[in-house]
Amino acid sequence: MSHESLTPTTVDELTPPDSFGRSGGETLVDSYGRHVSYLRLSITDRCDLRCNYCMVEEMRFLPRAQVLTLEECLRLTSAFVDFGVTKVRVTGGEPLVRQNVIWLLERIAGLPGLQELVVTTNGSQLERFAPLLRRAGVRRLNISLDTLRADRFRKITRVGDLSRVLRGLDAAQAAGFERLKLNTVMMRGGNDDELIDLVQFAMDRAVDIAFIEEMPLGDIGQSRRSSYFGSDEALDRLRTRFVLLPSLETSGGPARYWRIPGSSTRVGFISPHSHNFCDTCNRVRITARGELYPCLGDAHVSHLLPLLRAHPTDDAPLRAAIVRAMAFKARRHDFRHQMDAPQVLRFMSMTGG
Ligand code: SAM
Ligand code: SF4
């Protein structure tokens, strides 16, 4: 593992390469000609669970003053939507533990030009929030669910209660979202024996499911190599039970989808290790600290929070920093061979999943 891969490289002072300059001010285009149309915004690093692949048991969370205020979240998102971003995913940490999250979502949903507002949640607060989210204008939800067994759920999340998440899923189904998707991180010896059951569960509920390869984000105090479970092996396993037909649907990200004849359920694989789809990447991420990461697997970062606070009524410096950051979007990431030590020292809860 190279030292550089761990050290955040601040791009705010760097000069973009000569080849860069295609961002015309109206849309965001990186040095490889990829249009950025999708923003993933982490609105908190805090969470009510402590999933063992995401956090250490004793997490130190950010002091409040270092976290974007909701107004700052809105101002940032608005700048990206002005630049032609059409899809925003609000995530965390657990976004539903952020106070007044509905205030923010209502306003993001109302931004002219935004086509799709989606939320990723662990589901633990959904029983209460599902109807509020729907009314606020959230169209789709991703709900994380790694196991259907209560004892395992507790072990993986350290503190969680599976029945709460299942009640949350019920509430989300009753609230009438356009689509619901379960997110499952695959773990050898952790839940790989449940992959078929999870797909069957998704089919019974008529929701989608996406299986995620574990990524080396954040130092969780142990090697991830033994728990890593790849998409190809998962697909082989699912094929012992289901007929899976490849689907052309894509979100421009690392997910590939399969359909099961006779079912509305789509089965996705998010394969940042085994299949690299960086060529069509259309997304950037903002952490709860207001750091803009053009690539999840790369350490280049632009610090937007100081700019927001230094220029409370002038968006020009912010817009210039966003355009400049596009020059540093990595061509591709490579998580292979990085499972013993974290490639990137940020936890997923910081960057947003
Ligand atoms: N708390 C919410 C949740 O769990 O859905 C949103 C944030 S969480 C960081 C977003 C997604 O990232 C979840 O589906 C989670 O399982 C996944 N995730 C967290 N750490 C990961 C890792 N190291 N590798 C792969 N996926 C991870
Ligand atoms: Fe919390 Fe989501 Fe990370 Fe689990 S994966 S600890 S629910 S932020």
Question: Does the Cβ of 165 fall within 6 Å of ligand 1?
Answer: no
Nearest CA to ligand 2 atom 8: 93
Using the mean position of ligand 2's atoms as its centre, give its distance from the Cα of residue 125 in Å.
13
At residue 301's C-alpha, the angle toward residues 296 and 303, to 5°, is 130
Q: How far is CA 38 from the centre of its chain?
A: 11
Q: pTM for the whole thing?
A: 0.90
* pLDDT single digits (tens) 150-202: 999 999 999 999 999 999 999 999 999 999 999 999 999 999 999 999 999 99
Which of 43, 50, 144, 145 best tests ligand 1's pocket when mutated (most atoms within 8 Å of CB)? 144
CB burial of residue 245 (10 Å; 0-12, 13-18, 19+): exposed
Q: For residues 74-95, b (16+ Cβ closer than 10 Å) or e, as one string? A: bbbbbbbbbbebebbbbbbbbb
Question: Does the Cβ of 144 fall within 6 Å of ligand 1?
Answer: yes
CB burial of residue 151 (10 Å; 0-12, 13-18, 19+): exposed
Q: Compute the average pLDDT of residues 96-105.
A: 98
Instruction: Indicate which atom in ligand 1 lies nearest the CA of residue 215.
Output: 24
CA atoms of 237 and 197, how far apart (whole Å)? 11
Tokens 């965390």 sit on residue: 92
Closest-approaching ligand to the CA atom of 347:
1
What does the pLDDT read at residue 93? 96
Looking at the domain that runs over 11-351, which CATH code has it been given?
3.20.20.70
Torsion angle of the four alpha carbons 180, 184, 185, 186, in this order, in degrees rounded to the nearest 10? -150
* pLDDT single digits (tens) 121-161: 999 999 999 999 999 999 999 999 999 999 999 999 999 99
Question: Does the Cβ of 141 fall within 6 Å of ligand 1?
Answer: no
What residues does each domain of the chain span?
A: 11-351
Q: Which residues contact 219 (CB under 8 A, 6 or more apart)?
A: 56, 341, 342, 345
Ligand 2 is surrounded, with C-beta below 6 A, by 47, 49-51, 54-55, 92-94, 122, 144, 348-349
Q: Which of 140, 146, 11, 67 is nearest to 349 (CA)?
A: 67
Number of residues that make up the chain: 353
The per-residue DSSP string of 32-82 comes to TSPBP-EEEEE--S--S---TTT--SSPPPPPGGGSPPHHHHHHHHHHHHH
Closest-approaching ligand to the CA atom of 144:
1
Q: What is the CA radius of gyration of the chain?
A: 19
